[in-house]
């Protein structure tokens, strides 16, 4: 298993992050390994969240929202390529819920969908990795 965290609760993370004005993710992203997991899933390096957060201060936090929306769209594309069933996160979903969503709940709903998609993509990648490392007898036993 490459990815250990395939059951993150996005709604709670989004709810806490909203009330801490993004400071929660400043610590959660690097300490939980989320930044590294996103990079591994997407297949390329992404700007660290702490830099996106700092760039968000002069842009009234529009930059971190666009940064996250881009990651959501790439994650959606990756999920579709892997054959993971929807619903997916997307650029439109992230921006829409964070700007037009219900007060206080919009960011939590958007973050929930992001983590839901990420969890399913990571579980699929774990499943594929387990299939590649299994011996011939173990592969025949898998459904």
Distance CA 82, CA 112 (A): 20
pLDDT tens digits, 50-107: 999 999 999 999 999 999 999 999 999 999 999 999 999 999 999 999 999 887 799 9
pTM: 0.86
DSSP states along 46-112 = ---HHHHHHHHTTTTTHHHHHHHHHHHHHHHHHHHHHT--S----HHHHHHHHHHSPTTTHHHHHHH
Closest CA to 35 of 52, 59, 57: 52
pLDDT of 124: 94
- Reduced to 3 states (helix: H, G, I; strand: E, B; else coil), residue 6 is coil
Distance CA 81, CA 31 (A): 29
CB 75 within 8 A of CB 89: yes
């Amino acid at each position: 298993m490459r990815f250990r965290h395939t059951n993150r609760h996005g709604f709670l993370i989004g709810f806490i992050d909203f009330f801490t004005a993004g400071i929660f993710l400043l610590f959660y992203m690097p300490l939980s390994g989320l930044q590294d997991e996103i990079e591994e899933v997407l297949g390329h390096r992404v700007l660290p969240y702490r830099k996106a957060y700092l760039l968000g201060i002069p842009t009234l936090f529009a930059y971190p929202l666009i940064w996250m929306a881009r990651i959501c769209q790439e994650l959606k594309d990756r999920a579709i390529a892997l054959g993971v069933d929807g619903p997916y996160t997307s650029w439109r979903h992230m921006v829409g819920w964070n700007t037009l969503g219900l007060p206080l709940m919009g960011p939590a709903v958007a973050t929930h969908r992001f983590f839901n998609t990420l969890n399913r993509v990571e579980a699929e990648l774990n499943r594929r990795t387990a299939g590649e490392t299994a011996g011939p007898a173990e592969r025949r036993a898998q459904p």
